[in-house]
Amino acid sequence: LIRAARRYPAATFFGLDVSREMLSTASANIAAAGLAGRITLARGDATGFDPSLLFGRRRFDRVFFSYSLSMIPDWRRALATALDCVERDGRLLLVDFGSQERLPAAFRALLRAWLARFHVTPRTDLAAVARSLAAVRNRSIRAEAMFRGYAMEVEVGRTGGA
């Protein structure tokens, strides 16, 4: 959020996390960056929250996830909830661990074991689920595997898209 706020100085930002500890750390970092007036944080569960109650608005121009769906048990529901919060002409942007299908097998096994220690599970069907959710909502989608499958980047665009 800090990097995004610095890059887009005219925008306001909202952050959501279920962890009080993460919110405390984020709040301190935001204050230290001098961005407390432009970034609002709230405690909530990404699988179901009321943006009006938490942030005073129903929808957002952009919603993004950065390496977080891999830590949310009901990540499909979190993704669907987020899409429902995107403005008609807005976008959902996400990057997360991919299936790592083109990485060397030994490296992939070590990486998966390391990620599991932190309760991180790569979502191998992320692109397919995002495509399905986008289709139901008549939204455009672009999904791209990056770095030999290490990561997946997804952008769900405006309604009525191709």
How confident is the model over 121-157, as pLDDT tens digits? 999 899 999 999 999 999 999 999 999 889 999 999 9
Structure confidence by residue, pLDDT tens digits, 7-65 = 999 999 999 999 999 999 999 999 999 999 999 999 999 998 899 999 999 999 999 99
Q: In which band, very low, low, confident or very high, does the pLDDT at 162 lie, cut at 50, 70 and 90?
A: very low
Is the pLDDT assigned to residue 75 strictly greater than 60? yes
Structure confidence by residue, pLDDT tens digits, 26-35 = 999 999 999 9
d(CA 77, CA 111): 26
At 82 the pLDDT is 94
d(CA 130, CA 80): 9
Partners of 119 in beta bridges: none
What average pLDDT does range 83-105 have in this prediction?
A: 92
Burial 112-148 (b: 16+ CB within 10 A, else e): eeebeeeebbbbeebbebbbebbeebebebbbebeee
Where do runs of H (alpha helix) occur along the chain? Answer: 2-7, 20-32, 51-55, 75-84, 105-117, 126-136
